[in-house]
């Protein structure tokens, strides 16, 4: 499995350890997207943290309901985090670890934040595809094949166990990571983002949500990145404060 690493500016000149942000790509994307299609490297320079951009194909960051060897939830939550903590000078603590993503990766980051809340201090989503198992292919038909591969047929139990709205209902609010969400006002996924935010508000779960002009596009994702990095940095870098 491939991933890219964006190192802090002083990594080679120091012996210190750093917090880590895992940044997930969207559907039809790969591990290079965040580095090549946004100014991630430039935006992240002020922050002493390691950023990891893993590859997950069109998996929806799940253990597939139909392909036994596709176990991307296990890969991210178990294998990748262990690999990064072993190979790089990280602060191997959930208090110094965050996960975020765009579109399919936004769904994935929220899924990890709710199902593996003990691993992360902050979870970020931009243009999150929160209706992944709930018929998102009705909004974006191009997603149907990957949805069926990941979640199985409409009656498959995997759709229920990975429904972030249902997971949220049963989650213990105080144990969840801090949630940061952004979505464009012209994004076709805006209704599901607003619905998710309403659920967070109803359960009094700490979050912040930003909605401003933009579509489901790299222009919006690049523009939204600086704020997300700033919020995440303030919560996982030692000595920073929200």
Domain ranges of the chain: 3-236
With cut-offs at 50, 70 and 90, classify the pLDDT of residue 74.
Answer: very high
Q: Is the pLDDT assigned to residue 7 strictly greater than 70?
A: yes
Pick the CATH number of 3-236 from 3.30.70.2500, 2.40.110.10, 3.40.470.10, 3.40.50.1820: 3.40.50.1820
Joined together, the tokens standing for residue 195 give 């619905």
In this predicted structure, the answer to whether residue 32 has a pLDDT above a threshold of 90 is yes
Residue 240, pLDDT score: 72
Give the mean pLDDT of the chain. 96
pLDDT of residue 76: 97
* Residue 4 binned pLDDT confidence (cut-offs 50, 70, 90): very high
Q: What is the mean pLDDT of residues 232-237?
A: 97
Strands 3-6 and 50-54, sheet pairing:
antiparallel
For every residue of the chain, which 3-state class applies, written as one string?
A: CCEEEECCCCHHHCCCCECEEEEECCCCCCCCHHHHHCCHHHHHCCCCCEEEEECCCCCCCCECCCCCCCEHHHHHHHHHHHHHHHHCCECCCHHHEEEEEECHHHHHHHHHHHHCHHHCCEEEEECCCCCHHHCHHHCCHHHHHHHHHHHCCCCCHHHHHCCHHHHHHCCCHHHCCEEEEEEECCCCCHHHHHHHHHHHHHCCCCEEEEEECCCCCHHHHHHHHHHHHHHHHHHHCCCCCC
Q: Is the pTM of this model over 0.85?
A: yes
pLDDT digits (tens, 9 = 90+) for 125-163: 999 999 999 999 999 999 999 999 999 999 999 999 999
Structure confidence at residue 242 (pLDDT): 64
Q: To the nearest 10°, report the CA torsion of 185, 189, 191, 193.
A: -90
User: How confident is the model at residue 172, as a pLDDT?
Assistant: 86
- How confident is the model over 163-215, as pLDDT tens digits? 999 999 988 888 999 999 999 999 999 999 999 999 999 999 999 999 999 99
pLDDT recorded at residue 239: 83
pLDDT the model gives residue 241: 63
The torsion angle over the Cα atoms of residues 147, 148, 152 and 153, rounded to 10 degrees, is 120
Minimal CA–CA distance to 96: which of 110, 105, 85, 83? 85
């Amino acid at each position: 499995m491939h991933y890219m690493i964006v190192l802090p500016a002083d990594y080679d000149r120091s012996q210190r350890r750093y917090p880590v942000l895992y940044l997930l790509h969207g559907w039809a994307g790969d591990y290079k997207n965040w580095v090549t299609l946004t100014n991630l490297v430039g935006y992240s320079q002020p922050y002493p943290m390691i950023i990891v951009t893993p590859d997950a194909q069109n998996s929806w960051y799940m253990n597939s309901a139909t392909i036994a060897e596709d176990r991307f939830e296990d890969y991210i939550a178990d294998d990748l985090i262990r690999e990064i903590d072993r190979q790089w000078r990280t602060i191997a603590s959930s208090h110094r670890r965050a996960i975020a993503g765009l579109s399919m990766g936004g769904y994935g980051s929220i899924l990890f934040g709710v199902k593996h809340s003990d691993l992360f201090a902050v979870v970020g989503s931009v243009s999150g595809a929160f209706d992944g198992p709930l018929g998102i292919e009705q909004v974006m038909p191009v997603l149907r094949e990957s949805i069926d591969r990941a979640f199985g047929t409409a009656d498959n139990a995997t759709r229920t166990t990975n429904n972030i709205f249902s997971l949220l209902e049963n989650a213990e609010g105080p144990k969840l990571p801090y949630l940061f969400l952004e979505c464009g006002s012209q994004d076709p996924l805006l209704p599901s983002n607003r619905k998710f935010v309403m659920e967070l508000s109803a359960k009094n779960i700490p979050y912040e949500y930003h909605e401003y002009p933009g579509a489901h596009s790299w222009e919006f994702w690049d523009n939204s990145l600086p704020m997300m990095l700033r919020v995440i940095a303030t919560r996982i870098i030692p000595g920073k404060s929200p």
